[in-house]
Amino acid sequence: MNSQPRLPYFPVSFFSMIMGLSGFTLVMMKVEELGLIAYAPVELSAALTIALFLVLISTYTLKLIRHPDAVRTELDHPAMLSFFPTITISLILIGSFLATWIPTIALLSWQIGAAGQLLLALLILTRWIHHDHFEIHHISPAWFIPVIGNILVPLAGVENASMELNWFFFSTGLLFWIVLFTIIMYRMVFHHPMAENLLPTMFIMIAPPAVGFISYLNLVPDLDNFARVLYYNALFMTLLLLVQTPRFMKIPFSLSWWVYSFPLTAVTVATLLMYEETGKFYFLIISYLLLALVTTLILFLLYKTFLAARHNQICIPSKS
């Protein structure tokens, strides 16, 4: 059968699509809560996200059963290894927005996601420490993904677990973000440029401070100066990357483009929260600009992914 050979090449990075769509759902929920637009397609976005997640997790489980060597190859790959937590992060995000409609399923999704996130963080960090083939040029902003998952846990964890557990995840994720940020900046400035297909991962640098800001406000409800440090760090990284848009637009479309989506939705939610907390008009303007950007981006990515799937341009052997 023609489609059968594609299964071994179904990438774990596909789950970055679920992260982006989940982030967009949370944006729509916040916009609806604040009454900023006449209609926010919250239910549609949530339903699409869950449906696609079920398709992707079923397909990847089938890959694990039928082609375990292909999964093992991804686990040994210095870039793909970091994308495994996109599965657990997706579960945490789904648990965050699903609580509005089905609290019991949302709790289960969050619990599985948080437990899986801890296991994957320990596994990946252990592999980094005891590796025998990773070199400085292998590192990319994708390495932030495991720590983003830890920082993200309090997003729904405050309602579902003890504060001490939430602080455990948040503090460990935040600490390793600072460590990795230093290493990644050193690698980008003083070593050869990253491969073209990894350039979109630069947007992941927005996510740790943006997600950190959102989670921190869940842990400490008042907007304090540390929260501002996190938010403005995320906003600066967003500006730094947006001014490089012409460079990113030259990159041929691939599934790696989906890594643009979640960081931008995260900073959008963070900006909406800043507007809610401060009432400052300029945060409302920034919120509308980011909302227009992420809506356009999500629709564009869905369209391009549909075309790529239709023309058999995904789930194929890597050319690198």
pLDDT digits (tens, 9 = 90+) for 233-246: 999 999 999 999 99
Inside any domain, residue 316: no
User: 132 or 275: which carries more pLDDT confidence?
Assistant: 275
Inside any domain, residue 317: no
**21-25, 37-41, 54-58: lowest mean pLDDT where?**
37-41
Inside any domain, residue 319: no
Q: Which domain holds residue 68?
A: 4-310
Q: How many domains does the chain have?
A: 1
- What's 144's domain CATH number? 1.50.10.150
For range 269-289, the mean pLDDT: 97
Inside any domain, residue 318: no
Inside any domain, residue 306: yes
**67-71, 194-198, 251-255, 297-301: lowest mean pLDDT where?**
194-198
Give the Cα separation of 53 and 73 in Å (integer). 23
Inside any domain, residue 208: yes
Give the Cα separation of 23 and 90 in Å (integer). 9
Whether the predicted model's global pTM rises above the 0.75 cut: yes
What pLDDT is stored for residue 319 in this prediction?
A: 57
Mean residue pLDDT across the chain:
92
Per-residue pLDDT at 124 exceeds 70: yes
What pLDDT is stored for residue 160 in this prediction?
A: 82
Total length of the chain:
320
- pLDDT, tens digit, 9 for 90 and up, residues 160-206: 889 999 999 999 999 999 999 999 999 988 888 888 888 999 999 99
Inside any domain, residue 155: yes
User: 312 or 199: which carries more pLDDT confidence?
Assistant: 199
Inside any domain, residue 315: no
Question: Is the separation of the CB atoms in 144 and 180 below 8 Å?
Answer: yes
Please state, for a pLDDT cut of 90, what percent of the chain lies above it: 76
What pLDDT is stored for residue 305 in this prediction?
A: 94
Give the Cα separation of 302 and 306 in Å (integer). 6
What pLDDT is stored for residue 192 in this prediction?
A: 84
For range 247-256, the mean pLDDT: 89
What pLDDT is stored for residue 304 in this prediction?
A: 94
For range 22-30, the mean pLDDT: 97
Q: How far is CA 65 from CA 59, 71, 279, in A?
A: 10, 9, 52
For range 110-120, the mean pLDDT: 96
Per-residue pLDDT at 82 exceeds 70: yes
Per-residue pLDDT at 3 exceeds 80: no
